[in-house]
A and B are shown apart, each in its own frame.
Chain A
Amino acid sequence: MVGVRTVPGVTEGGHRVDDAAERAFAEYFRARRDAVRRTAFLLCGDWHRADDHAQSAFVALHRHWQRIRDPQALDAWVRRTLVRAVVDESRRPWRRERPVEVTPDRADTGSTADGVATRAALVDALRAVPARQRAVLVLRYLEGLDVAATAAALGCSTGTVKSQTAHGLAALRAVLGDTLDDLSAAG
């Protein structure tokens, strides 16, 4: 049996979350679960997959809970993990997404009177936007991040965020046409 000495004063390598940390995690989970699910939903367009991604992000967070040095960085950490997982999944061959010119008929999106149909139109249209551009749009317009925070979440430059935002909105307009303005007005 080899004895192992963990150097005092540094975080222990073993994965153990004490009671106080568990309580803090439980609080964070309770406060943030639904927000993370909503972000995941707009990133992937499906509530079941959104739950899978959100759950995986929280599992990863729990495993790293003791070692995330800055509590203010928790949201950013979860966001980054989530976006990376969804974008990676979109690249896998069996689930590779292909942007389309026209989304499937789902409802008459010409009328903003039907709120459900209108919201569904936006979700459908987002699925037609390339994954990275979609992530930029979701972080900026759902999460309300500014350009710098979006760049940090995606690990890219602010210039890239600006150009991806422009391209993403153009892609959204290409699918929705004037409906995007209706959506915005009805939002």
Chain B
Amino acid sequence: MENDDERLAAAFRAAVQDAPEAGFDREDVLAGSRRLARRRRMQVTGGIAAAVIVLVGGVTTGVVLSRDGGAVTSAAAPAPERAGPGSATDASAPRAAAAPSAPRSGAPLGPATGDCVNPQDPQLRALVDAALPALAGAQQAPTTTICRPGGGREVNLEVADGALTGLFTVVYTPAGAPPAQTATAVGWVTAEAPTASGGTVVVTSRGAADSGGVPLADDVRPLAEALGPRL
């Protein structure tokens, strides 16, 4: 059996012994690497621009729909008391409520409401997905809900970047609250940025135990930088 394996191995090696000259060299590899880095930077920039457009569009739509209901209201302030059953504003109410807390144009998202920090905050997730489209399909990582008051926001994702896998977290802490603990472990990549609302955003990527490195490490700093003005 072992002899068979050796003979097969010899046959496999023989099958590749007539390799033609390589069609690429190190310069090609470096050029490809630079090209990918540029593309990734442009994706981050474009993602932020798209997020701004979506937010502005959402606010504008909300205001227009509210006008249709007979009174001008902010999309950030749904009016359930106006939209009672059978009222003339029934139809517009759900649509206006579709963006219940969309920030004003250009305004940062700011602190969340509620008693406990949501470890998978949907509004922060939307900003993150828009800023870094590579995360758009990422699955939510299992989290333990610990009730921390203070209006913070979090997103915890399981990510894959080529052969690298791991946990990617974005933690927003409002002004006045102590910022999230930053990583100190070797191999973690962390970047921290102040936010427009006076808080702090910390982006961290850490490799899984069997991952050869840290996934999306190049994107950690640009993402923190991109999210700062939006939070």
Q: Which residues of A contact B (CB under 8 A)?
A: 2-7, 9-15, 26, 29-30, 33-34, 37-38, 41-42, 47-48, 51, 54-56, 58-60, 62-64, 67-70, 73, 76-77, 80-81, 84, 115-116, 118-119, 122-123, 137-138, 140-142, 144, 152, 183-187
Contact = CB atoms under 8 A, between A and B. Distances in A.
Residue of B12, B30, B182 most packed against chain A (CB within 10 A) = B12
Residue of B185, B218, B219 most packed against chain A (CB within 10 A) = B218
A56 B162 CA distance: 11
Nearest to B17: A119
Interface of B: 4-5, 7-20, 22-24, 26, 28-30, 32-33, 36-37, 162-164, 182-194, 207, 210, 212-214, 217-222, 224-225, 228-229
Q: Is the interface of A mostly helix, strand, loop or mixed?
A: helix
B164 to A, nearest CB: 7
A81 B207 CA distance: 16
A7 B26 contact: no
A55 B163 contact: no
Given A7-B183, A41-B16, A187-B13, A56 B32 contact: yes
Nearest to B229: A2
A21 to B, nearest CB: 12
30 contacts: A2-B229, A4-B192, A6-B191, A9-B184, A11-B217, A12-B189, A15-B218, A29-B29, A33-B22, A34-B22, A37-B19, A37-B22, A42-B16, A55-B32, A56-B32, A60-B162, A62-B32, A63-B36, A77-B163, A77-B212, A115-B14, A119-B18, A138-B12, A140-B5, A142-B13, A184-B10, A185-B7, A187-B7, A187-B9, A187-B12
